[in-house]
Amino acid sequence: MQTVKMVVTGPFSAGKTEFIRSVSEIDVVSTERKISSEAEKVKDQTTVAMDFGRITVDDSLVLYLFGTPGQRRFDFMWEILSEGMLGFIVMVDSTRPETFREARNILETFRAYAPTPYVVAANKQDFKEAWDLDDMRIALRLDAKVKLLPCVATEKETVKGVLLELLYSILEEMDKNEAK
């Protein structure tokens, strides 16, 4: 059996666990703990080690989705999780501009770990307070070539769209490398 993996990363409470949950065929193996810090009480629980989802492609291939812990104090996990990934998705909460700088730093950190393709998913685009994608692109300092995709982590179709865009980017990268 061959296995490949993709990593879903992003700041605390960006929606990484929900994203994986929306498409995983198994109940997401989540290592969540109650949040103790008042400052981080945007939600009740947070991922402390990783989330783990699975999509069986066929009899001989399985895709694993790994979600990284969002809190900076668990960043020692990031490099371990990024080993051997096909590509990665950076989730950003479109309604919380206070997390944009952190998202930018996480993106740079992962790019440094491995030069694999990536896309940025602007989560919670269904919320009234969501920032416009064009504004987010500037705030996140994303190059025009980087795919910034609207996403609602709880809706399977948009999650599929993000995964597919990452896969298309991987194919494009292969074609580019072939042409060199």
Partner 1 sequence: MALKGNLRDFSVTQLLNLINVAQKTGTLVVEGPSEQIWVSFREGKLAFARNGQEDGSLATVLYRAKKISAAQFRAIQERAANMSDKELGLLLINANYITQQDIINSLQAYFLGVVNRLFTWVEGLFHFENDMMPPDDKITVRISLENIIIEGSRRMREWEQLQDEIPSLEVAMKFTDRPGTNIRNVNLSVEEWRVVSYINPKNTIRQVAKATNKSDLEIRKVVYGLLQAGLIELVRPEGVVQPATPAGRPALPVTNKEDQKSLINRIISRIRSI
Residues of this chain that bind partner 1 (CB under 8 A): 2-4, 23, 55-58, 61, 63, 79, 82-87, 95-98, 100-101, 105, 108, 113-116, 128-132, 134-135, 138-139, 141, 156, 160, 163-164, 167-168, 170-171, 174, 178
Closest approach of partner 1 to the CB of residue 33, in Å? 25
Minimum gap (Å) between residue 63 Cβ and partner 1:
6
**Cα 84 to chain center, whole Å?**
16
| Closest residue by Cα to residue 166 from 104, 98, 99, 110 | 110
- Closest approach of partner 1 to the CB of residue 44, in Å: 22
Smaller CB separation from partner 1, 32 or 64: 64
Question: Phi and psi dihedrals of 148, rounded to 5?
Answer: -115, 115
Toward partner 1, which CB reaches closer, 25 or 34? 25
CB 173 to partner 1: min, Å: 10
Strands 45-58 and 29-34: antiparallel
Rounded to whole angstroms, how far apart are CA atoms 78 and 91? 14
Q: How near is the Cβ of 24 to partner 1 at its closest, in Å?
A: 10
> Closer CB to partner 1, residue 32 or residue 113?
113
Q: Report the residue number, 26 or 57, with the smaller CB distance to partner 1.
A: 57
Could you give the CA distance from residue 150 to residue 165 in angstroms, rounded to a whole number? 11
DSSP code string of 6-51: EEEE-STTSSHHHHHHHH-SS--EEEEEE---GGGTTSSEEEEEEE
